[in-house]
Amino acid sequence: MLGKALEQFFSSDSVSDGWINLRVETGLRHNFRDLRCCYRDAMGSNRICRLAGRPITDHSGGFIGYRGTATDITSEVEAHEMANHLAQHDPLTELPNRVLLRDRLDLALMGMERDQTQVAVLCLDLDHFKEVNDTLGHGVGDIILRQVAERLRATLRTTDTIARMGGDEFVVVQVAVSQPVEAEALCRRFIDVFQMPFEVEGNDLYVGVSIGVAIAPHDGDDHERLLKHADIALYRAKQSGRGKYRFFEHAMDSELQARKALEQDLRQAIARNQLEMHYQPLVTIEGQRLTGVEALIRWHHPQRGLISPVDFIPIAEDTGLIIPIGEWALRRSCNDAKAWPHLTVAVNLSPVQFKHHELIEMISQVLAETGFPPERLELEITESVLLYDANAALKILAAIKKLGIRIAMDDFGTGYSSLGYLNSFPFDKIKIDRSFIAELNGTDKANAIVKSVISLGQSLEMITTAEGVETLAQLTFLTEEGCQQVQGYYFGRPIPPAELTELVAEWQTSGRDATAA
Ligand code: C2E
Ligand code: MG
Ligand code: MG
């Protein structure tokens, strides 16, 4: 090194900024520091160093060179780059993460006017991936995610960006001259490449994808709005069945806003006393006696009036509000039903409540607190409860039964009926869904279905109840077929507790209540 000029020592074949700066800086003959340079070490490998120096002069003040230090910072720089990469990429799939995606999206948006382009943001979400994870384990889930990432990447052009946002969510930024044509073509390709199975440990697994698309500038011109709108479109794609793509429309946003507002109001509904239970008579066919009621929830919204449970129970289920609401409904029903000591009361249980680990404790607590006799309580569940983890569900059912409570299978025939579970669990009652009753005498098919459900109930020693009986003709058919119990407008609509008390009195005076048995 001795006697060599700095510029020679820091090899000039690496035309880095550092080297160019070195010439400028040393030419100025000032102090310099933190100058990044490249050099080749004795082994011939490229290294990076940091230089600091100050000019030195001879006795007469003439410049004779620099004195200073060179520090090798190669590993520091590499660690820094690594940290940068990690901060911007997803470790599992090696795809860019949301941080990098946002940068790239911002860049794409800035170039729109100059390049006369439009930018499509595609939000992708795998269908039923949670079940893959839950049933096959996270290890398999990770393998699939990596294959998915690879497949998606292979479908893109080099100008497109794909990122993993977390979980099973991916986002693609596509810059193109003619939108939405190119985004639509890309959606088709994506859905297509998911037609082929993923191979994991020798098994073929099918995973679908749903896509929501927002296009700048029409649907928004900043990353936040575009991602939000693509996400809303994705939500819609999922709702319209899986394996679909949807483009954002402004109406989707207002619907979502309305739903959000309703959700907010629902959070307050219990505290503000807006919920109420109504009760609908359950009547035995033999002797036509009033023996029980079904408790049905009602929401009196201060502005919107009465909201049907069909419209707000799904929201309560999505948000988890069904847990406090369901508990409230059970407590209210037990308290109300104390006024009708001869009647059973049936309360609906949501599948979401069923997955809640404190269900049994909650039920026992309400029974203890209200002093309501468990043998007068019936809980209605739907087939969907048994859909995923049937074994776990059957255990919970058994625990409920042990409390002395009866269990009814509601809306029978509308779910993913696998009759197998009727064998593995002794339901006390099956309720034939009212859609079949509505079609009675209209189609031979409905007649046949109702007939066979009744005889199924008979042979398994379960009571069959027909829902939604509105006409004498329906009642006559059900009577002839040997159905035991009916519920429907023919005998009475759901009514507030005070009215039911009057109704019970009427039935009592006409000798048609449960005590007449
Ligand atoms: P569901 O348990 O099958 O209740 C029967 C539904 O049929 C009730 O609707 C009832 O009003 C209606 N219905 C009864 N008879 C007739 C009839 O003759 N004709 C017609 N067209 N309809 C009849 P509702 O009260 O609107 O409740 C709808 C659903 O909301 C219920 O279906 C149940 O799944 C759910 N739900 C109601 N209350 C609760 C609750 O407290 N908790 C939970 N988790 N779900 C509830
Ligand atoms: Mg019900
Ligand atoms: Mg029902």
- pLDDT of 383-425, one tens digit each? 888 876 778 888 999 999 999 999 999 998 877 666 777 877 8
Q: Give pLDDT, residue 20.
A: 59
Is residue 139 helix, strand or coil?
A: helix
Name residues whose C-beta falls within 8 Å of residue 304's C-beta, 6 or more positions apart in sequence: none
Q: Which ligand is closest to the CA of 350, given by its number?
A: 1
Q: Does domain 6-79 have CATH number 3.30.70.1230?
A: no
Q: Which ligand is closest to the CA of 437, given by its number?
A: 1
Ligand 2 centre to CA of 350 (Å) is: 10
Question: Beta strand pairing status for 429-432 and 406-412?
Answer: parallel
- The CATH code that applies to domain 89-248 is 3.30.70.270
Q: Give pLDDT, residue 453.
A: 92
Q: Give pLDDT, residue 316.
A: 94
Q: Give pLDDT, residue 335.
A: 97
* Ligand 1 neighbour 311 (Cβ under 6 A): no
Report which secondary-structure segment, H or E, holds 411: strand 406-412
Q: Quote the crossing angle between the two packed helices 74-88 and 98-110, to the nearest 10°.
A: 80
Q: Give pLDDT, residue 442.
A: 77
Is residue 160 helix, strand or coil?
A: coil
Q: Can you tell me the distance from the alpha carbon of 346 to that of 334, in angstroms, rounded to the nearest whole number?
A: 10
Residue 151 CA: distances (Å) to CA of 191, 192, 198, 230, 380: 11, 11, 10, 21, 45
Q: What does the mean pLDDT of the chain come to?
A: 90
Pocket test of ligand 1: the residue of 296, 300, 377, 414 to mutate, having most ligand atoms within 8 Å of its CB, is 296
Q: Block means of pLDDT (10 residues each) for the chain, length 517 residues?
A: 74 52 76 84 85 91 89 92 90 94 95 94 92 84 95 93 94 95 96 91 88 95 94 91 91 86 93 96 94 97 93 91 97 97 96 90 97 97 80 90 96 74 85 93 86 92 96 96 96 97 92 68
pTM, full prediction? 0.69
Q: Does domain 258-510 have CATH number 3.40.50.620?
A: no
Ligand 3 centre to CA of 453 (Å) is: 15
* Ligand 1 neighbour 489 (Cβ under 6 A): yes
Q: Give pLDDT, residue 277.
A: 97
Residue 50 CA: distances (Å) to CA of 33, 37, 65, 343, 406: 8, 6, 18, 88, 79
Residue 299 identity: W
Q: Which ligand is closest to the CA of 433, given by its number?
A: 3
* Ligand 1 neighbour 313 (Cβ under 6 A): yes
Name residues whose C-beta falls within 8 Å of residue 408's C-beta, 6 or more positions apart in sequence: 346, 378, 379, 380, 381, 427, 428, 429, 430, 431, 465
* Ligand 1 neighbour 470 (Cβ under 6 A): yes
Rg (CA), the chain: 35
**Burial letters for 283-302: b for 16+ Cβ neighbours within 10 Å, e otherwise?**
bbbeeebbbbbbbbbbbeee
Residue 410 identity: D
Q: Give pLDDT, residue 13.
A: 44
- Give DSSP secondary structure letters for 353-393: HHHSTTHHHHHHHHHHHHT--GGGEEEEE-GGGGTS-HHHH
* Ligand 1 neighbour 281 (Cβ under 6 A): no
| Ranges of H-type helices in 460-516 | 472-481, 497-509
Query: How many beta carbons lie within 10 A of that of residue 445, not counting itself?
Result: 10
Ligand 2 centre to CA of 346 (Å) is: 7
List of long-range contacts for 469-474, beta carbons under 8 Å, 24+ apart: 469/437, 470/437, 470/438, 473/440, 473/441, 474/437, 474/440, 474/441
**In this structure, are residues 467 and 433 in contact, taking their beta carbons and an 8 Å threshold?**
yes
Q: Give pLDDT, residue 12.
A: 43
Q: Give pLDDT, residue 16.
A: 53
Ligand 3 centre to CA of 172 (Å) is: 43
Q: Where are the domains of the chain?
A: 6-79, 89-248, 258-510
Q: Give pLDDT, residue 204.
A: 87
pLDDT, one tens digit per residue, over 289-301 is 999 999 999 999 9
Q: Give pLDDT, residue 216.
A: 94
Is residue 145 helix, strand or coil?
A: helix
Ligand 1 centre to CA of 319 (Å) is: 21
